[in-house]
């Protein structure tokens, strides 16, 4: 299918342009970019390798520090992390670190490098619930410490929310390749196993020396006003379906999106790339309070999405939605053939033996729970890191060290 949805909106570098970009780097001594990467991917070091045309060395630096390096290269909000503090900004603009990393990991794939090697089994095993980025990184970090690792995923597809990030930003091919690499390291995946239903937490505790919970924020929120109408869908369900069907879904020509975060912006852009003529996004926040990153917001606007800020939905009759402004006295009526709700996600940990406080497990410090055998990481963990892929990678790396320590490692 020749759909705009399937094509990257941002071209990658070639061998010449990646070296040109790397040669703009100031080779800072105490590099702010590396300090700001939650995953510790060490951009200053891999950029230095690229400057000296050592792509292999650069790939080793990325991979040894970040099991999802090819994914982070594409989806990391670099403007918030490594590129934010880049010293080159003081001269003209920051180094395009994300795209350099993308070139390096594409190179790694093209020349079939196998960088990570698992040591001899240490005789202990860890069961992981969920297969999102936090679980995948934890699986790799534990495997590299010699643990046998088994991952239990309720869906029939691995990758968690990575399977919702639209194809034009994160192709399935890249996710498949990262997971294949993890399988090759010896991590065993069980698909279609809902822990808490198909298997109990006790089953996992009997089968493994430790259990790690990483179920993420898997469920989309509904607004009561819109409940029960057949032309209303949740953003997470819509994005999952479009991606699974490679853009091959039917959408009407007049769509209303409700929500103003990055997920709403993904829905907006996806709609336009699928060819929808009228996409109107009504957002609770006013522009100054927007949750979506500036890059995503501007991207959606450039594609022709109409974004209206500061309104709350007050009624819906199955076709027409009425909104009232939060501050000024103003009403708005919008007719649409399809409504997509992107008003947040929530976690469900029923059957997993933990309690959530404000959406997070915060029962013990540093990824512990009340049960000494059970740990948490990723979006549900109470941690210092954002609910992002790279935040998940960081929690996955850290929790592996805590599990190792609890099982007699260093």
Kindly list the residues in this chain that would bind ligand FAD in the complex (CB under 6 A).
75-76, 129-135, 152-155, 160-161, 164-165, 194-196, 214-218, 236, 239, 262-263, 266, 378-379, 387-390, 392
Minimum distance from residue 73 beta carbon to ligand FAD (Å): 11
135 binds, among ligand SF4, ligand FAD, none (CB under 5 to 8 A by kind): ligand FAD
239 binds, among ligand SF4, ligand FAD, none (CB under 5 to 8 A by kind): ligand FAD
261 binds ligand SF4 (CB under 6 A): no
Position closest to ligand FAD via CB: 216
40 binds ligand SF4 (CB under 6 A): no
The residue from 31, 212, 282, 336 that contacts ligand SF4 (CB under 6 A) is: 31
235 binds ligand SF4 (CB under 6 A): no
Phi and psi at residue 90, to the nearest 5°: -65, -20
Q: DSSP per residue over 254-276, as a string?
A: EEEEE--SHHHHHHHHHHHHTT-
Using CB under 6 A, count the residues that bind ligand SF4. 15
Token reading at 190: 């069980």
Cα 397 to Cα 410: distance, rounded to the nearest angstrom: 14
Decide whether 239 or 361 has the Cβ nearer to ligand FAD: 239
The residue from 13, 21, 43, 265 that contacts ligand SF4 (CB under 6 A) is: 43
Sign of dihedral through CA atoms 196, 198, 203, 204?
negative
Q: Are strands 320-325 and 331-335 parallel, antiparallel or unpaired?
A: antiparallel
Decide whether 28 or 113 has the Cβ nearer to ligand SF4: 28
Contact 152, 199 (CB under 8 A): yes
Minimum distance from residue 194 beta carbon to ligand SF4 (Å): 43
Q: Using CB under 6 A, which residues numbered 75 to 134 contact ligand SF4? A: 86-88, 95, 97
One character per residue 9-28, x = contact with ligand SF4 (rule: CB under 6 A): ----------------xxxx
Over the range 106-117, which residues count as b (16 or more CB within 10 Å of their CB) and which as e? bbbbeeebeebe
Contact 233, 390 (CB under 8 A): no
Question: Going along 217-337, which residue ranges are E strands?
Answer: 219-220, 232-234, 254-258, 278-283, 306-309, 311-316, 320-325, 331-335
40 binds, among ligand FAD, ligand SF4, none (CB under 5 to 8 A by kind): none
Q: Among 42-50, 126-134, 304-312, 365-373, which window interacts with ligand SF4 (CB under 6 A)?
A: 42-50
Contact 219, 345 (CB under 8 A): yes
154 binds, among ligand SF4, ligand FAD, none (CB under 5 to 8 A by kind): ligand FAD
Decide whether 31 or 343 has the Cβ nearer to ligand SF4: 31
87 binds, among ligand SF4, ligand FAD, none (CB under 5 to 8 A by kind): ligand SF4
Alpha helices in 255-337 (DSSP H): 262-273, 294-302
Contacts of 305 (CB under 8 A, 6+ apart): 257, 268, 269, 271, 272, 279, 280, 281
Is 75 strand, coil or helix? helix
The residue from 37, 47, 129, 377 that contacts ligand SF4 (CB under 6 A) is: 47
Q: Which residues bind ligand SF4 (CB under 6 A)?
A: 25-28, 31-33, 43-44, 47, 86-88, 95, 97
């Amino acid at each position: 299918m020749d759909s705009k949805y399937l094509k990257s909106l941002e071209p990658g570098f070639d061998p010449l342009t990646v070296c040109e970009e790397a040669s703009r780097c100031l080779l800072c001594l105490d590099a702010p970019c590396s300090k700001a990467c939650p995953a510790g991917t060490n951009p200053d070091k891999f950029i230095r390798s690229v400057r000296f045309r050592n792509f292999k060395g650069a790939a080793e630096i990325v991979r040894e520090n970040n099991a999802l390096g090819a994914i982070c290269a594409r989806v990391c909000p670099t403007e918030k992390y490594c590129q934010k503090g880049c010293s080159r900004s003081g001269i003209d603009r920051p180094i395009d670190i994300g795209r350099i990393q993308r070139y390096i990991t594409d190179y790694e794939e093209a020349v079939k490098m196998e960088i990570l090697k698992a040591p001899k089994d240490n005789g202990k095993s860890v069961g992981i619930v969920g297969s999102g980025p936090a679980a995948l990184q934890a699986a790799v970090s534990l495997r590299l410490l010699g643990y046998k690792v088994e991952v239990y995923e309720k869906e029939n597809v691995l990758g968690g929310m990575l399977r919702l990030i639209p194809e034009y930003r994160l192709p399935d091919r890249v996710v498949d390749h990262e997971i294949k690499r993890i399988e090759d390291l010896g991590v065993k995946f069980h698909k279609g196993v809902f822990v808490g239903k198909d298997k109990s937490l006790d089953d996992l505790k009997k089968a493994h020396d430790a259990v790690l919970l990483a179920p993420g924020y898997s469920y989309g929120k509904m607004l009561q006003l819109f409940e029960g109408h057949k032309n209303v869908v949740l953003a997470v369900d819509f994005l999952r379906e479009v991606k699974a069907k490679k853009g091959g879904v039917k959408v009407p020509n007049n769509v209303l999106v409700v929500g103003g975060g990055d997920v709403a912006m993904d829905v907006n852009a996806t709609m336009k790339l699928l060819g929808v003529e009228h996409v109107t996004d009504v957002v609770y926040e006013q522009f100054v309070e927007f949750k979506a990153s500036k890059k995503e917001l501007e991207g959606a606007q450039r594609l022709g999405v109409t974004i209206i800020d500061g309104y709350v939905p007050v009624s819906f009759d199955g076709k027409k939605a009425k909104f009232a402004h939060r501050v000024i006295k103003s009403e708005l009526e919008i007719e649409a053939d399809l409504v997509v709700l992107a008003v947040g996600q929530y976690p469900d940990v029923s059957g997993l033996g933990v309690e959530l406080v404000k959406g997070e497990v915060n029962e013990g410090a540093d990824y512990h729970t009340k049960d000494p055998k059970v740990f948490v990481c990723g979006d549900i963990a109470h941690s210092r890191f954002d609910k992002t892929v790279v935040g998940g990678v960081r929690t996955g790396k850290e929790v592996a060290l805590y599990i190792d320590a609890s099982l007699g490692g260093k």
